Structure 1
Amino acid sequence: MSVLYLCKGTCKRLHTIKKIFLLSDTHSYIDTAISRYASTADEVWHAGDIGSVEVTDTLAALSPQLRAVYGNIDDTSLRLRFPLDQVFEIEGLKVWITHIGGYPGRYSKRVKDLWPEIRPNLFICGHSHILKVIKDTKKQCLHLNPGAVGHHGFHQMRTALLFELSEGTVRNLEIIEFGKRGML
Structure 2
Amino acid sequence: MPRIGLLSDTHGLLRPEALAFLRGSDAIVHAGDICDPAILEQLAAIAPVTAVRGNNDHGPWAERLPHTAHVQFGAVRLCVVHDLGELAPQASADAQVVVSGHSHKPVAETRGGVLYVNPGSCGPRRFKLPIAVAELLVDGSAVSARIFTL
TM-score using structure 2 length: 0.90
Cα offset, 1:48, TM superposition = 0.5
Q: 2:135 aligns with which of 162, 168, 172?
A: 162
| C-alpha distance after superposition, 1:53-87 (max 9, x if no partner) | 11111111122x11111100001233233211111
Aligned counterparts of 1:152 and 1:52: Cα–Cα separation in 2? 17
Q: In the alignment, is the contact (CA less than 8 A) between 2:107 and 2:147 conserved in 1?
A: no
Question: Which amino acid in structure 2 is aligned with residue 141 of structure 1?
Answer: V
Partner residue, 2:68: 85
Partner residue, 1:25: 9
| Higher strand proportion (structure 1 or 2) | 1
Cα offset, 1:34, TM superposition = 1.3
- Percent of pairs with identical residues: 24
* 1:78/1:118 CA distance change after superposition, 3 Å: farther
Q: In the alignment, is the contact (CA less than 8 A) between 2:4 and 2:137 conserved in 1?
A: yes
Aligned counterparts of 1:125 and 1:54: Cα–Cα separation in 2? 21
Partner residue, 2:50: 67
What secondary structure sits across from 2:11 in the alignment? Answer: coil
- 5+ unaligned residues in a row in structure 1: which ranges? 1-16, 102-107, 179-184
Aligned counterparts of 1:36 and 1:77: Cα–Cα separation in 2? 29
Partner residue, 1:121: 96
- 5+ unaligned residues in a row in structure 2: which ranges? none
Deviating above 4 A after TM superposition, structure 1's stretches of 4 or more consecutive aligned residues are: none
Aligned counterparts of 1:160 and 1:53: Cα–Cα separation in 2? 19
Pair 1:49-2:33 in alignment: yes
Q: In the alignment, is the contact (CA less than 8 A) between 1:69 and 1:86 conserved in 2?
A: yes
Q: In the alignment, is the contact (CA less than 8 A) between 1:129 and 1:154 conserved in 2?
A: no
Aligned-CA RMSD value = 1.7
What secondary structure sits across from 1:40 in the alignment? Answer: coil
Q: State the structure with more CA Rg.
A: 1
